[in-house]
Structure 1
Protein backbone atom coordinates (compact mmCIF):
# COMPACT_ATOMS: atom_id res chain seq x y z
CA UNK A 1 0.00 0.00 0.00
CA UNK A 2 1.33 3.45 -0.95
CA UNK A 3 2.45 5.49 2.05
CA UNK A 4 1.89 9.21 2.51
CA UNK A 5 4.35 11.65 4.05
CA UNK A 6 4.05 15.35 4.92
CA UNK A 7 7.26 17.38 4.70
CA UNK A 8 7.78 20.95 5.92
CA UNK A 9 10.11 23.53 4.41
CA UNK A 10 9.95 22.27 0.81
CA UNK A 11 10.41 25.55 -1.06
CA UNK A 12 14.16 25.14 -1.62
CA UNK A 13 17.22 23.05 -0.90
CA UNK A 14 17.00 19.99 1.27
CA UNK A 15 13.23 20.03 1.69
CA UNK A 16 12.56 20.25 -2.03
CA UNK A 17 15.04 17.46 -2.77
CA UNK A 18 13.51 15.30 -0.04
CA UNK A 19 9.99 15.74 -1.40
CA UNK A 20 11.11 14.79 -4.91
CA UNK A 21 13.01 11.74 -3.64
CA UNK A 22 10.05 10.34 -1.72
CA UNK A 23 7.81 10.81 -4.76
CA UNK A 24 10.38 9.06 -6.95
CA UNK A 25 10.34 6.14 -4.52
CA UNK A 26 6.57 5.79 -4.90
CA UNK A 27 5.37 7.67 -1.82
CA UNK A 28 2.54 10.20 -1.79
CA UNK A 29 3.98 13.53 -0.66
CA UNK A 30 2.34 16.55 0.94
CA UNK A 31 5.06 19.10 0.18
CA UNK A 32 4.48 22.17 2.35
CA UNK A 33 5.94 25.67 2.50
CA UNK A 34 4.80 29.13 3.51
CA UNK A 35 4.33 30.28 -0.10
CA UNK A 36 3.34 27.34 -2.32
CA UNK A 37 5.30 26.77 -5.53
CA UNK A 38 3.23 24.40 -7.72
CA UNK A 39 6.19 23.49 -9.96
CA UNK A 40 7.35 21.01 -7.31
CA UNK A 41 4.48 18.74 -8.30
CA UNK A 42 5.16 18.89 -12.05
CA UNK A 43 7.24 15.71 -12.22
CA UNK A 44 4.82 13.66 -10.09
CA UNK A 45 1.38 15.31 -10.32
CA UNK A 46 -0.40 12.20 -9.04
CA UNK A 47 1.88 11.79 -6.03
CA UNK A 48 2.74 15.32 -4.88
CA UNK A 49 0.37 17.82 -3.30
CA UNK A 50 1.89 21.26 -2.72
CA UNK A 51 0.19 23.09 0.12
CA UNK A 52 0.76 26.20 2.23
CA UNK A 53 1.98 25.59 5.77
CA UNK A 54 3.50 28.06 8.22
CA UNK A 55 4.86 26.16 11.22
CA UNK A 56 4.03 29.10 13.47
CA UNK A 57 0.36 29.07 12.41
CA UNK A 58 -1.65 26.12 13.82
CA UNK A 59 -4.54 26.77 11.44
CA UNK A 60 -2.33 26.43 8.37
CA UNK A 61 -0.83 23.24 9.82
CA UNK A 62 -4.28 21.72 10.35
CA UNK A 63 -5.36 22.78 6.86
CA UNK A 64 -2.32 21.13 5.24
CA UNK A 65 -2.87 17.90 7.18
CA UNK A 66 -6.56 17.78 6.23
CA UNK A 67 -5.77 18.50 2.59
CA UNK A 68 -3.20 15.72 2.48
CA UNK A 69 -5.56 13.19 4.02
CA UNK A 70 -8.40 14.24 1.72
CA UNK A 71 -6.12 13.88 -1.33
CA UNK A 72 -4.35 10.64 -0.43
CA UNK A 73 -6.64 9.05 2.16
CA UNK A 74 -4.10 8.74 4.96
CA UNK A 75 -1.00 10.13 6.63
CA UNK A 76 1.77 7.73 7.63
CA UNK A 77 4.80 9.91 8.31
CA UNK A 78 6.01 13.48 8.81
CA UNK A 79 9.37 15.15 8.22
CA UNK A 80 9.96 18.28 10.29
CA UNK A 81 12.50 19.95 8.02
CA UNK A 82 11.69 23.67 8.23
CA UNK A 83 14.43 25.61 9.98
CA UNK A 84 16.40 28.86 10.06
CA UNK A 85 19.81 29.85 11.38
CA UNK A 86 21.88 32.92 12.18
CA UNK A 87 25.58 33.69 12.54
CA UNK A 88 26.08 36.11 15.43
CA UNK A 89 27.71 36.91 18.74
CA UNK A 90 25.18 36.00 21.41
CA UNK A 91 25.56 39.24 23.36
CA UNK A 92 24.60 41.28 20.30
CA UNK A 93 21.85 39.02 18.95
CA UNK A 94 18.48 40.82 18.96
CA UNK A 95 15.80 39.26 21.12
CA UNK A 96 13.43 39.22 18.17
CA UNK A 97 15.91 37.18 16.12
CA UNK A 98 16.30 34.71 18.99
CA UNK A 99 12.54 34.32 19.27
CA UNK A 100 12.17 33.87 15.52
CA UNK A 101 14.71 31.03 15.44
CA UNK A 102 13.02 29.26 18.34
CA UNK A 103 9.58 29.94 16.87
CA UNK A 104 10.54 28.06 13.72
CA UNK A 105 13.06 25.45 14.85
CA UNK A 106 11.48 24.46 18.17
CA UNK A 107 7.92 25.69 18.62
CA UNK A 108 7.13 25.22 14.94
CA UNK A 109 8.33 21.63 15.10
CA UNK A 110 6.25 21.13 18.25
CA UNK A 111 3.20 22.63 16.55
CA UNK A 112 3.42 20.25 13.59
CA UNK A 113 4.14 17.24 15.80
CA UNK A 114 1.21 17.89 18.15
CA UNK A 115 -1.10 18.43 15.18
CA UNK A 116 -0.23 15.12 13.48
CA UNK A 117 -0.21 12.91 16.57
CA UNK A 118 -4.00 12.38 16.71
CA UNK A 119 -3.99 11.14 13.10
CA UNK A 120 -1.07 8.80 13.68
CA UNK A 121 -2.65 7.46 16.87
CA UNK A 122 -5.87 6.84 14.99
CA UNK A 123 -3.93 4.82 12.43
CA UNK A 124 -2.23 2.99 15.32
CA UNK A 125 1.27 3.97 14.26
CA UNK A 126 3.51 6.15 12.16
CA UNK A 127 6.86 7.90 12.01
CA UNK A 128 8.01 11.45 12.72
CA UNK A 129 11.44 12.42 11.39
CA UNK A 130 12.97 15.53 12.94
CA UNK A 131 15.80 17.06 10.91
CA UNK A 132 18.23 18.23 13.55
CA UNK A 133 21.91 19.05 12.99
CA UNK A 134 25.38 18.00 14.02
CA UNK A 135 25.27 20.93 16.43
CA UNK A 136 22.44 19.14 18.18
CA UNK A 137 25.29 17.07 19.65
CA UNK A 138 27.88 19.79 20.31
CA UNK A 139 28.24 23.51 20.81
CA UNK A 140 29.99 25.72 18.27
CA UNK A 141 30.82 29.45 18.27
CA UNK A 142 28.75 32.10 16.46
CA UNK A 143 25.76 29.76 16.20
CA UNK A 144 24.71 29.74 19.85
CA UNK A 145 21.00 30.37 19.23
CA UNK A 146 20.79 27.83 16.42
CA UNK A 147 22.70 25.32 18.57
CA UNK A 148 20.33 25.92 21.48
CA UNK A 149 17.31 25.37 19.25
CA UNK A 150 18.67 22.12 17.81
CA UNK A 151 19.69 20.78 21.21
CA UNK A 152 16.14 21.49 22.35
CA UNK A 153 14.91 19.41 19.40
CA UNK A 154 17.29 16.61 20.39
CA UNK A 155 16.01 16.50 23.96
CA UNK A 156 12.38 16.69 22.89
CA UNK A 157 12.84 13.95 20.30
CA UNK A 158 14.57 11.54 22.64
CA UNK A 159 11.91 12.04 25.29
CA UNK A 160 9.10 11.60 22.77
CA UNK A 161 10.74 8.48 21.37
CA UNK A 162 10.09 6.79 24.71
CA UNK A 163 6.69 8.35 25.28
CA UNK A 164 5.26 7.54 21.87
CA UNK A 165 6.35 3.91 21.84
CA UNK A 166 3.12 3.36 23.75
CA UNK A 167 1.25 4.53 20.63
CA UNK A 168 3.42 2.64 18.10
CA UNK A 169 4.73 5.98 16.81
CA UNK A 170 8.44 6.21 16.02
CA UNK A 171 10.54 9.35 16.47
CA UNK A 172 13.69 9.72 14.37
CA UNK A 173 16.51 12.28 14.44
CA UNK A 174 18.55 13.00 11.32
CA UNK A 175 21.73 14.90 12.22
CA UNK A 176 23.40 16.37 9.11
CA UNK A 177 26.80 18.00 9.00
CA UNK A 178 27.62 21.28 7.28
CA UNK A 179 26.09 21.45 3.82
CA UNK A 180 27.83 24.28 2.04
CA UNK A 181 25.73 23.91 -1.11
CA UNK A 182 22.44 24.79 0.57
CA UNK A 183 20.71 28.17 0.66
CA UNK A 184 20.36 27.54 4.41
CA UNK A 185 24.03 28.43 5.03
CA UNK A 186 23.99 31.57 2.92
CA UNK A 187 20.79 32.81 4.56
CA UNK A 188 22.39 32.28 7.95
CA UNK A 189 25.39 34.35 6.94
CA UNK A 190 23.14 37.09 5.60
CA UNK A 191 21.15 37.16 8.82
CA UNK A 192 24.30 38.11 10.74
CA UNK A 193 23.78 41.64 9.42
CA UNK A 194 20.94 41.91 11.95
CA UNK A 195 23.45 41.58 14.78
CA UNK A 196 26.39 44.01 14.37
CA UNK A 197 29.55 42.66 15.96
CA UNK A 198 30.69 44.60 19.05
CA UNK A 199 34.23 45.96 18.79
CA UNK A 200 35.35 43.82 21.73
CA UNK A 201 34.40 40.68 19.77
CA UNK A 202 35.61 41.73 16.32
CA UNK A 203 38.96 39.92 16.35
CA UNK A 204 37.37 36.76 17.71
CA UNK A 205 34.41 36.94 15.33
CA UNK A 206 36.67 37.30 12.30
CA UNK A 207 38.86 34.42 13.46
CA UNK A 208 35.90 32.12 14.22
CA UNK A 209 34.20 32.98 10.93
CA UNK A 210 37.41 32.20 9.05
CA UNK A 211 37.57 28.87 10.90
CA UNK A 212 34.08 28.13 9.52
CA UNK A 213 35.25 28.99 6.02
CA UNK A 214 38.39 26.86 6.45
CA UNK A 215 36.34 23.99 7.89
CA UNK A 216 38.61 20.92 8.17
CA UNK A 217 35.94 18.49 6.96
CA UNK A 218 34.47 17.78 3.58
CA UNK A 219 30.98 19.21 3.26
CA UNK A 220 28.04 16.88 3.75
CA UNK A 221 26.30 16.09 0.48
CA UNK A 222 22.62 16.97 0.39
CA UNK A 223 21.89 13.68 -1.33
CA UNK A 224 23.34 11.79 1.65
CA UNK A 225 21.03 13.68 3.98
CA UNK A 226 18.01 12.98 1.75
CA UNK A 227 18.92 9.29 1.77
CA UNK A 228 19.15 9.35 5.58
CA UNK A 229 15.75 11.01 5.89
CA UNK A 230 14.25 8.38 3.63
CA UNK A 231 15.93 5.60 5.58
CA UNK A 232 14.65 7.01 8.85
CA UNK A 233 11.08 7.36 7.57
CA UNK A 234 11.04 3.78 6.29
CA UNK A 235 12.81 2.26 9.29
CA UNK A 236 10.42 0.52 11.68
CA UNK A 237 13.09 -0.15 14.29
CA UNK A 238 13.57 1.86 17.50
CA UNK A 239 16.75 3.47 16.20
CA UNK A 240 16.72 7.18 17.10
CA UNK A 241 19.74 8.89 15.51
CA UNK A 242 20.96 8.96 11.91
CA UNK A 243 24.32 10.77 11.77
CA UNK A 244 25.26 12.11 8.33
CA UNK A 245 28.61 13.65 7.41
CA UNK A 246 32.27 13.33 8.38
CA UNK A 247 32.15 16.28 10.77
CA UNK A 248 29.20 14.92 12.73
CA UNK A 249 30.80 11.50 12.89
CA UNK A 250 33.80 13.13 14.57
CA UNK A 251 31.58 15.20 16.86
CA UNK A 252 29.77 12.04 17.92
CA UNK A 253 33.04 10.21 18.53
CA UNK A 254 34.37 13.03 20.71
CA UNK A 255 31.08 13.49 22.55
CA UNK A 256 30.38 9.84 23.33
CA UNK A 257 33.72 8.03 23.22
CA UNK A 258 36.15 10.30 25.07
CA UNK A 259 36.49 11.95 28.47
CA UNK A 260 35.12 15.45 29.04
CA UNK A 261 38.65 16.88 28.92
CA UNK A 262 39.44 15.10 25.66
CA UNK A 263 36.12 16.23 24.21
CA UNK A 264 36.75 19.89 25.05
CA UNK A 265 40.32 19.78 23.78
CA UNK A 266 39.26 18.08 20.56
CA UNK A 267 36.38 20.45 19.86
CA UNK A 268 38.58 23.42 20.77
CA UNK A 269 41.08 22.43 18.11
CA UNK A 270 38.36 21.90 15.51
CA UNK A 271 36.81 25.29 16.29
CA UNK A 272 40.18 27.13 16.27
CA UNK A 273 39.98 27.99 19.96
CA UNK A 274 43.64 27.19 20.63
CA UNK A 275 44.65 30.73 19.61
CA UNK A 276 42.55 32.28 22.33
CA UNK A 277 43.50 29.68 24.92
CA UNK A 278 47.21 30.32 24.26
CA UNK A 279 46.69 34.06 24.63
CA UNK A 280 44.97 33.54 27.98
CA UNK A 281 47.93 31.66 29.44
Structure 2
Protein backbone atom coordinates (compact mmCIF):
# COMPACT_ATOMS: atom_id res chain seq x y z
CA UNK A 1 0.00 0.00 0.00
CA UNK A 2 1.32 3.44 -0.91
CA UNK A 3 1.90 5.95 1.88
CA UNK A 4 1.62 9.73 1.61
CA UNK A 5 2.83 12.19 4.24
CA UNK A 6 1.19 15.61 4.06
CA UNK A 7 2.21 18.70 6.03
CA UNK A 8 -0.22 21.37 7.18
CA UNK A 9 -3.33 19.19 7.53
CA UNK A 10 -5.16 21.12 10.26
CA UNK A 11 -7.39 22.86 7.68
CA UNK A 12 -7.74 23.93 4.06
CA UNK A 13 -5.80 22.28 1.26
CA UNK A 14 -3.88 19.89 3.48
CA UNK A 15 -6.98 18.57 5.20
CA UNK A 16 -8.83 18.05 1.91
CA UNK A 17 -5.78 16.41 0.33
CA UNK A 18 -5.53 13.96 3.23
CA UNK A 19 -9.21 13.07 2.78
CA UNK A 20 -8.75 12.61 -0.96
CA UNK A 21 -5.78 10.24 -0.73
CA UNK A 22 -7.52 8.27 2.02
CA UNK A 23 -10.62 7.90 -0.16
CA UNK A 24 -8.39 6.49 -2.90
CA UNK A 25 -7.22 3.71 -0.61
CA UNK A 26 -3.82 5.11 0.35
CA UNK A 27 -2.22 5.06 3.77
CA UNK A 28 -2.19 8.69 4.92
CA UNK A 29 0.04 10.37 7.47
CA UNK A 30 -1.54 13.74 8.13
CA UNK A 31 0.74 16.10 10.01
CA UNK A 32 0.23 19.42 11.73
CA UNK A 33 1.94 21.40 14.42
CA UNK A 34 -0.58 20.47 17.09
CA UNK A 35 -2.68 17.38 16.23
CA UNK A 36 -6.18 17.40 17.68
CA UNK A 37 -8.92 14.80 17.79
CA UNK A 38 -11.74 15.06 15.31
CA UNK A 39 -9.79 16.71 12.49
CA UNK A 40 -9.68 13.44 10.55
CA UNK A 41 -11.04 9.94 11.27
CA UNK A 42 -7.96 8.10 12.57
CA UNK A 43 -7.78 4.49 11.41
CA UNK A 44 -5.28 1.83 10.39
CA UNK A 45 -4.82 3.80 7.14
CA UNK A 46 -4.80 7.30 8.60
CA UNK A 47 -2.49 8.59 11.29
CA UNK A 48 -2.08 12.06 12.77
CA UNK A 49 1.46 13.12 13.65
CA UNK A 50 2.90 16.31 15.09
CA UNK A 51 5.23 18.06 12.66
CA UNK A 52 6.45 21.63 12.86
CA UNK A 53 8.33 22.33 9.63
CA UNK A 54 10.38 25.04 11.35
CA UNK A 55 11.80 22.58 13.92
CA UNK A 56 14.45 20.04 12.78
CA UNK A 57 13.80 17.74 15.75
CA UNK A 58 10.08 17.70 14.98
CA UNK A 59 10.75 16.82 11.33
CA UNK A 60 13.10 14.00 12.29
CA UNK A 61 10.68 12.57 14.86
CA UNK A 62 7.75 12.65 12.44
CA UNK A 63 9.66 10.91 9.66
CA UNK A 64 10.94 8.26 12.03
CA UNK A 65 7.40 7.59 13.26
CA UNK A 66 6.03 7.60 9.71
CA UNK A 67 8.34 4.95 8.32
CA UNK A 68 8.76 4.59 4.54
CA UNK A 69 7.00 7.37 2.60
CA UNK A 70 6.16 7.02 -1.08
CA UNK A 71 4.88 10.56 -1.56
CA UNK A 72 5.68 13.73 0.39
CA UNK A 73 3.29 16.66 0.04
CA UNK A 74 4.70 19.93 1.34
CA UNK A 75 1.55 21.93 1.97
CA UNK A 76 2.24 23.76 5.25
CA UNK A 77 2.37 27.48 4.74
CA UNK A 78 1.43 30.87 6.13
CA UNK A 79 0.61 34.18 4.51
CA UNK A 80 0.98 37.86 5.24
CA UNK A 81 -1.08 40.57 3.58
CA UNK A 82 -0.14 44.24 3.61
CA UNK A 83 2.13 46.88 2.21
CA UNK A 84 5.69 45.63 2.32
CA UNK A 85 6.83 49.01 3.68
CA UNK A 86 4.77 48.36 6.82
CA UNK A 87 5.53 44.64 7.22
CA UNK A 88 7.94 43.99 10.11
CA UNK A 89 10.98 42.00 9.03
CA UNK A 90 10.22 39.57 11.85
CA UNK A 91 7.05 38.64 9.99
CA UNK A 92 8.90 38.37 6.69
CA UNK A 93 11.31 35.92 8.31
CA UNK A 94 8.43 33.99 9.85
CA UNK A 95 6.85 33.54 6.41
CA UNK A 96 10.15 32.37 4.91
CA UNK A 97 10.85 30.05 7.86
CA UNK A 98 7.64 28.13 7.14
CA UNK A 99 7.03 28.49 3.42
CA UNK A 100 10.61 28.30 2.17
CA UNK A 101 13.06 26.95 4.70
CA UNK A 102 10.48 24.64 6.28
CA UNK A 103 9.66 23.06 2.93
CA UNK A 104 13.36 22.69 2.13
CA UNK A 105 14.06 21.09 5.49
CA UNK A 106 11.34 18.44 5.12
CA UNK A 107 12.49 17.69 1.57
CA UNK A 108 16.10 17.32 2.68
CA UNK A 109 15.05 14.94 5.44
CA UNK A 110 13.02 12.65 3.16
CA UNK A 111 15.41 12.48 0.20
CA UNK A 112 17.76 9.79 1.63
CA UNK A 113 15.03 7.14 1.92
CA UNK A 114 13.63 7.90 -1.54
CA UNK A 115 17.08 7.96 -3.11
CA UNK A 116 17.95 4.61 -1.48
CA UNK A 117 14.74 3.03 -2.84
CA UNK A 118 15.20 4.85 -6.17
CA UNK A 119 11.55 5.83 -6.11
CA UNK A 120 9.24 8.43 -4.61
CA UNK A 121 7.45 11.67 -5.34
CA UNK A 122 7.86 15.09 -3.74
CA UNK A 123 4.99 17.53 -4.30
CA UNK A 124 5.57 21.13 -3.26
CA UNK A 125 2.46 23.31 -3.00
CA UNK A 126 3.17 26.93 -3.93
CA UNK A 127 0.62 29.46 -5.21
CA UNK A 128 -0.67 31.18 -8.30
CA UNK A 129 1.26 34.26 -7.12
CA UNK A 130 4.24 32.52 -8.76
CA UNK A 131 2.37 32.84 -12.06
CA UNK A 132 1.18 36.42 -11.53
CA UNK A 133 2.54 38.23 -8.44
CA UNK A 134 -0.22 39.70 -6.30
CA UNK A 135 -0.04 43.20 -4.78
CA UNK A 136 0.07 43.53 -0.99
CA UNK A 137 1.69 40.09 -0.68
CA UNK A 138 5.33 40.75 -1.52
CA UNK A 139 6.85 38.65 1.26
CA UNK A 140 4.50 35.74 0.63
CA UNK A 141 5.10 35.90 -3.12
CA UNK A 142 8.87 35.92 -2.61
CA UNK A 143 8.71 32.90 -0.29
CA UNK A 144 6.72 30.91 -2.84
CA UNK A 145 8.82 32.06 -5.81
CA UNK A 146 11.86 30.69 -3.97
CA UNK A 147 10.24 27.26 -3.73
CA UNK A 148 9.25 27.46 -7.38
CA UNK A 149 12.90 27.77 -8.42
CA UNK A 150 14.04 25.27 -5.80
CA UNK A 151 11.59 22.66 -7.05
CA UNK A 152 12.55 23.08 -10.69
CA UNK A 153 16.22 22.60 -9.87
CA UNK A 154 15.53 19.68 -7.52
CA UNK A 155 13.53 17.88 -10.20
CA UNK A 156 16.65 17.68 -12.37
CA UNK A 157 18.81 16.68 -9.41
CA UNK A 158 16.65 13.76 -8.23
CA UNK A 159 15.53 12.39 -11.60
CA UNK A 160 18.72 10.32 -11.79
CA UNK A 161 17.55 8.45 -8.66
CA UNK A 162 14.02 7.77 -9.88
CA UNK A 163 12.49 10.43 -7.62
CA UNK A 164 9.89 12.70 -9.23
CA UNK A 165 9.43 16.29 -8.06
CA UNK A 166 6.26 18.31 -8.71
CA UNK A 167 4.78 21.78 -8.23
CA UNK A 168 1.10 22.37 -7.47
CA UNK A 169 0.08 26.01 -7.88
CA UNK A 170 -3.29 26.77 -6.24
CA UNK A 171 -5.27 29.85 -7.16
CA UNK A 172 -7.14 32.13 -4.77
CA UNK A 173 -9.42 30.36 -2.29
CA UNK A 174 -11.63 32.69 -0.24
CA UNK A 175 -12.26 29.93 2.32
CA UNK A 176 -8.64 29.68 3.47
CA UNK A 177 -7.30 31.57 6.49
CA UNK A 178 -4.50 33.08 4.45
CA UNK A 179 -2.82 35.24 7.10
CA UNK A 180 -4.17 33.59 10.25
CA UNK A 181 -0.78 32.42 11.54
CA UNK A 182 1.09 35.72 11.41
CA UNK A 183 -0.62 37.16 14.51
CA UNK A 184 -1.03 40.64 13.10
CA UNK A 185 -4.24 42.25 11.79
CA UNK A 186 -4.13 42.90 8.05
CA UNK A 187 -5.21 46.52 8.41
CA UNK A 188 -2.23 47.20 10.69
CA UNK A 189 -0.07 46.66 7.59
CA UNK A 190 -1.96 49.15 5.41
CA UNK A 191 -0.64 52.65 6.11
CA UNK A 192 -2.94 55.55 5.32
CA UNK A 193 -0.86 56.38 2.26
CA UNK A 194 -1.84 53.00 0.77
CA UNK A 195 -5.57 53.18 1.56
CA UNK A 196 -6.73 54.28 -1.88
CA UNK A 197 -4.56 51.64 -3.54
CA UNK A 198 -5.58 48.83 -1.20
CA UNK A 199 -9.34 49.45 -1.20
CA UNK A 200 -10.12 48.14 -4.70
CA UNK A 201 -7.80 45.17 -4.17
CA UNK A 202 -9.59 44.04 -1.02
CA UNK A 203 -12.92 44.57 -2.76
CA UNK A 204 -11.70 42.25 -5.50
CA UNK A 205 -10.76 39.62 -2.94
CA UNK A 206 -14.30 39.76 -1.60
CA UNK A 207 -15.84 39.21 -5.05
CA UNK A 208 -13.42 37.09 -7.08
CA UNK A 209 -14.50 36.08 -10.56
CA UNK A 210 -12.64 32.77 -10.66
CA UNK A 211 -11.74 30.96 -7.46
CA UNK A 212 -10.09 27.76 -6.33
CA UNK A 213 -11.85 25.09 -4.32
CA UNK A 214 -10.01 22.97 -1.79
CA UNK A 215 -11.01 19.91 -3.81
CA UNK A 216 -9.28 21.41 -6.88
CA UNK A 217 -6.00 21.42 -5.00
CA UNK A 218 -6.46 17.91 -3.60
CA UNK A 219 -7.16 16.58 -7.09
CA UNK A 220 -4.14 18.41 -8.54
CA UNK A 221 -1.89 16.95 -5.84
CA UNK A 222 -3.31 13.50 -6.59
CA UNK A 223 -2.56 13.90 -10.30
CA UNK A 224 0.93 15.19 -9.59
CA UNK A 225 1.69 12.28 -7.27
CA UNK A 226 0.56 9.66 -9.78
CA UNK A 227 1.77 11.15 -13.06
CA UNK A 228 4.82 9.27 -14.32
CA UNK A 229 5.66 11.85 -17.00
CA UNK A 230 8.25 14.62 -16.71
CA UNK A 231 5.62 17.28 -16.08
CA UNK A 232 6.57 19.79 -13.38
CA UNK A 233 3.70 22.30 -13.07
CA UNK A 234 0.12 21.55 -11.98
CA UNK A 235 -2.02 24.70 -11.63
CA UNK A 236 -5.04 24.07 -9.40
CA UNK A 237 -8.31 25.97 -9.69
CA UNK A 238 -9.94 27.85 -12.55
CA UNK A 239 -8.08 31.08 -11.85
CA UNK A 240 -4.67 29.39 -11.62
CA UNK A 241 -5.32 27.45 -14.84
CA UNK A 242 -6.24 30.72 -16.56
CA UNK A 243 -3.09 32.42 -15.30
CA UNK A 244 -0.92 29.48 -16.36
CA UNK A 245 -2.36 29.78 -19.84
CA UNK A 246 -1.33 33.41 -19.95
CA UNK A 247 2.15 32.87 -18.49
The alignment status of 1:222 with 2:222, answered yes or no, reads no
Counterpart of 2:79 (choices 73, 82, 85) is 85
CA contact (8 A) 1:86 1:192 kept: no
Find the aligned partners of 1:193 and 1:56 in 2 and give their Cα distance: 23
In structure 1, distance between residues paired with 2:202 and 2:145? 22
**Any conservation in 2 of the 1:87–1:189 contact (CA below 8 Å)?**
no
For 1:59, the equivalent position in structure 2 comes to 57
Task: Please tell me the root mean square deviation across aligned C-alpha atoms, in Å.
Answer: 1.8
Structure-2 change in CA distance of 1:191 and 1:254 (3 Å): farther
Structure 2 residue ranges without an equivalent (≥5)? none
Do residues 6 (structure 1) and 5 (structure 2) align? yes
Runs of 5+ consecutive residues of structure 1 not aligned to the other structure? 256-281
Q: CA deviation at 1:233?
A: 1.0
Aligned length: 247
Which position in structure 2 is the counterpart of 1:212? 205
Which residue is 2:236 aligned to? 244
The structure number with the bigger radius of gyration is 1
Match in the other structure for 2:135? 141
**For 1:38 and 1:66, how far apart are their aligned partners in 2?**
22
Partner in structure 1 of residue 96 of structure 2: 102
Residue from 120, 123, 134 that aligns with 1:126: 120
Q: Please name the residue that 2:224 is paired with.
A: 232
**2:107 paired residue number:** 113
CA distance in 2, matches of 1:201, 1:224: 33
Counterparts of 2:31 and 2:204 in 1: how far apart (Å)?
35
Find 1:202's aligned residue among 179, 192, 195: 195
Pair 40,200 (structure 1): closer, same or farther in 2 beyond 3 Å: closer
Contact 1:8 1:53 in 2 (8 A): yes
The residue correspondences of 1:162-201 to structure 2 (distance < 5 A) are 162-182=156-176, 184-185=177-178, 187=180, 191-193=184-186, 195-201=188-194
Deviation at 1:41, TM superposition (A): 4.8
1:278 corresponds to: none
C-alpha separation between the residues in 1 aligned to 2:113 and 2:20? Answer: 24
